Amino acid sequence: MYNGNRYLWKMLVFVFAMAAPVTLVTFFLNSDDGFDFNDYLLIVAAAALPAIILYVRLVREMQVVAARIERAAVLSPLDGDGRAGGRPGLLPLDNLLLTMQQYRRVLQHMLREAQSRQDEASRLFDMLPDPVLVLGSKRRIRRSNEAANRFFNVTEMDGDMTRFIRHPALLKAIDAAYEGADQSARIEFTISDVVPRNVAAYIVNLDGESSEGLHLIVTLHDLTESRRMQQMRVDFVANASHELRTPLAILIGALETLMGPARNDPEAHQRFFTMMQAQSLRMSQLIDDLLSLSQIEINEHSRPADRVDIGKVLNGVGGLIRAKSVEMDKTIAMTLPETPVFVTGDFDQLTQVFTNLVDNALKYSREKSEIRVEIEVARREARISVIDEGEGIPEEHIARLTERFYRVDSDRSRKLGGTGLGLAIVKHIVSRHRGHLEIESEVGKGSRFTIRLPLAAE
């Protein structure tokens, strides 16, 4: 209970400290009167006994304090103490415990506030859209957010950063930041992957700003999509210029011929006029498609709200294009449900979508073949498929078919009158309708273009 010899020595020191001054003063005051040694021992005993009693009493009260402090650390400050109400001691225990309970309430409130802020900061950290890494000393990852885990395709990031990325430019910039060469830096680099990714890294040095020894924050921003869009814009301008330059060059050449060597040749006039008309129509169609695509992109964020009978749309498309199919000696077979199928959409734009798809099927299918148009209703959506019996599309081209001016066979497409914008227009209209375009094709057998559109509410 009293911790053996340590307790005894402490008690002796306390008793000596309490009794020595009294006995020394008494001894010097009575030394001239023939002070007897036995009297001195009696005085020492008289001073030491209360000191021992006081020491034992204080030790017991401190034990009571320790026990009540332990109870106060576990129980709520509002809970009663079973030992309260006893006789008062030498120490102001109740006041001390009351003060401790007040401090306990304050500390608990501060801890709850700190925990709440930490949880909020952790949630915000994980909600950041860009990958963020917090590095300690020697490039060790102390923390990463959810975006970083998805970026590197792992469930959790820890250990040295070189386990996940080893690009020399990034590691060099991180080492320079550790050395204090630059408090913040930005570098761009390319990660070699199945699909190469362009990445911008922002490195910030937090040396001296954290008690946990955190040094660097590395933020990665994926530039792949923006670079791809920039390249697509560049390609679009180049392709549009090329598509317009070709018919213009033919028109200019024809006009120069008509104004020169063929000025008085009626047969040449007829041939060149026919050529000029075809190229003018081609340019007109190209400009119409560009304007149409631009208008669709402007309104792509605004979803149409009309209730459209998709059967009427397809019947209208069949009526518009049937004459062309007869001229090409091909047939169009439509399999429509007996009951109307309504989707939420824009009648004119949906007509444009299926006119493009059926027209493409006519152009690229084999001679005397059949183009099938089918409707299927499933899972609150309508699936409209346009199926041809053509040469099919190689798999490596399917993903790029909806890019502007992309053609599998450029020469054949131009001869058939295609502008290279038809499927791009289809893609953006379907996107505006919150639908999906699916393309399936097998070389030598044909292709299936399926449009999935949400059904309209009844």
Which own/partner contact pairs does 193-202 have at CB distance under 8 Å and 24+ positions apart?
195/224, 196/224, 197/222, 197/224, 198/222, 198/223, 198/224, 198/227, 199/223, 199/224, 201/170, 201/173
* pLDDT at position 149 over 80: yes
Q: Between 420 and 375, name the one with better pLDDT.
A: 375
Q: Which two tokens stand for residue 340?
A: 């109307």
User: Model confidence at 1, in pLDDT bands (50, 70, 90)?
Assistant: very low
pLDDT at 84 (0 to 100): 46
Strands (E), 148-196: 159-160, 184-191
Give per-residue pLDDT as tens, 291-348. Answer: 887 777 777 777 888 899 999 999 998 888 888 888 888 888 888 888 889 998 989 9
* pLDDT at position 103 over 90: no
Give per-residue pLDDT as tens, 384-418. Answer: 999 988 888 888 888 888 887 777 766 665 666 56
- For residue 111, count other CB atoms closer than 10 A to its CB: 10
* CA 406/CA 239 separation, integer angstroms: 9
Helix (H, G, I), strand (E, B) or coil at 452: strand
Task: From 397, 404, 400, 427, select the one nearest 234 (Cα to Cα).
Answer: 404
pLDDT at 78 (0 to 100): 45
Enumerate helices (H) and strands (E) in the chain, giving the number of each.
12, 13
pLDDT at 7 (0 to 100): 61
User: Model confidence at 452, in pLDDT bands (50, 70, 90)?
Assistant: very high
pLDDT at 258 (0 to 100): 84
Contact 47, 16 (CB under 8 A): no
For the entire predicted model, the pTM comes to: 0.52
Q: Which two tokens stand for residue 351?
A: 């007509």
User: Model confidence at 208, in pLDDT bands (50, 70, 90)?
Assistant: low
pLDDT at 280 (0 to 100): 86
pLDDT at 401 (0 to 100): 84
Task: From 402, 385, 383, 384, select the one nearest 393 (Cα to Cα).
Answer: 402
Structural domains for the chain: 4-101 (no CATH), 128-222 (3.30.450.20), 232-298 (1.10.287.130), 302-458 (3.30.565.10)
* CA 410/CA 243 separation, integer angstroms: 11
Q: Between 93 and 359, name the one with better pLDDT.
A: 359
> How many whole angstroms from its chain centre is CA 164?
19
pLDDT at 385 (0 to 100): 92
pLDDT at 94 (0 to 100): 63
pLDDT at 207 (0 to 100): 64
* pLDDT at position 60 over 80: no
